Amino acid sequence: MTTIKEYVTIKKEELAKRILKLGRKPVIKIIQVNDDYASNTYIKGKIKDVEEIGALAILEKLPITTSEDELLAIIEKTNLDKEVDGFIVQLPLPKHISEEKVKQAVDPKKDLDGFNVLSKFKSATPNGILTFLDDNNYKFEGKNALVIGRSNIVGKPMAKYLLEKNMTVTVAHSKTPNDELRFFVKNADLIIVAVGKANFVDKTYEFKNNAYIFDVGINRNENNKLVGDCEKDLPVAFQSPVPGGVGLLTRLALLINLVEASEKYGL
């Protein structure tokens, strides 16, 4: 199996070639209605990725005082804008704006985050993991998957996509007793950990030695270092690193969705 870093480099080169074939630069718009540090950093990364494959990113940064109606009107305008292949509305939104209304207002053909229930695209983090496994010829069918965490952006869509791959899927969450969780971990072939707690899965758990683990968590440890939800070097066949793991696959998934949007639905 290739490392995630190598894989992402190869996939980006493939996407750049598909854009050359398309003969024009796909355009992604990023709508931002906050000024928080994390969002600014993520957006900077997304713009860099988009430019690297030869596409164009337009950032529309709106004041925090933007009303829900004003944002919905901008989304409607972007839905109809023929110059834009796809777009994302960076989360979080200010409290006075309904996230759900915003998600469902995005045209499913342009919804590169895959948040709309009718979206033509899969949600970035789960899709990044799936695409990586698919491209590495992972055999999903009949195996046991365990998804730890049930968020709308990772856990739930991940479980749905793995079911569609004919896996037997268990979803553990904050109300799952720890002894049960240990039982599920011990029997899982594929484990997706999206909890948001450093060292949540550690070496006190038992694993199948041929298990694959994808560590979605992004946490700061006591030394302010970036760490995942899993202790390093668990005794399994594959464990995605943090940093340099699922984060890279998530960034890649957005690029894949952009190129697909421009090939399928663009002008």
What residue type is assigned to position 125 of the chain? T
Task: Figure out which of the listed residues 26, 54, 126, 247 binds ligand NAD, where binding follows CB under 6 A.
Answer: 247
Closest to 229 in 3D by CA, of 199, 188, 205: 199
Q: How many CB atoms lie within 10 A of CB 37?
A: 8
Say whether 90 is catalytic.
yes
The reply on whether position 48 binds ligand NAD by CB under 6 A is no
Say whether 113 is catalytic.
yes
Per-residue contact string for residues 173-202; x = within reach of ligand NAD by CB under 6 A = xx-x----x------------xxx------
Name the one residue in this structure whose structure tokens are 């399928």.
Answer: 264
Q: Which stretch binds ligand NAD (CB under 6 A): 17-25, 44-52, 101-109, 168-176?
A: 168-176
Sites for ligand NAD among residues 83-142 (CB under 6 A): 125
Closest to 234 in 3D by CA, of 166, 188, 172: 188
Task: State the minimum distance, in angstroms, from the CB of residue 236 to ligand NAD.
Answer: 18
Alpha helices in the chain (DSSP H): 4-22, 37-52, 68-80, 99-105, 124-135, 155-164, 178-187, 246-264
Structure tokens at 3: 């490392």
- The distance between the two most distant Cα atoms of the chain, rounded to a whole number of Å, is 56
Q: Which stretch binds ligand NAD (CB under 6 A): 27-35, 49-57, 147-155, 205-213?
A: 147-155
Task: Figure out which of the listed residues 78, 127, 250, 262 binds ligand NAD, where binding follows CB under 6 A.
Answer: 250
| Alpha-carbon gap, residue 255 to 62, rounded angstroms | 23
CA angle 189, 194, 199 (to 5 degrees): 90
Nearer CB in complex with ligand NAD: 66/127: 127
Say whether 32 is catalytic.
no
Footprint of ligand NAD (CB under 6 A): 125, 148-151, 153-155, 172-174, 176, 181, 194-196, 216-219, 246-247, 250
Active site residues: 46, 90, 113
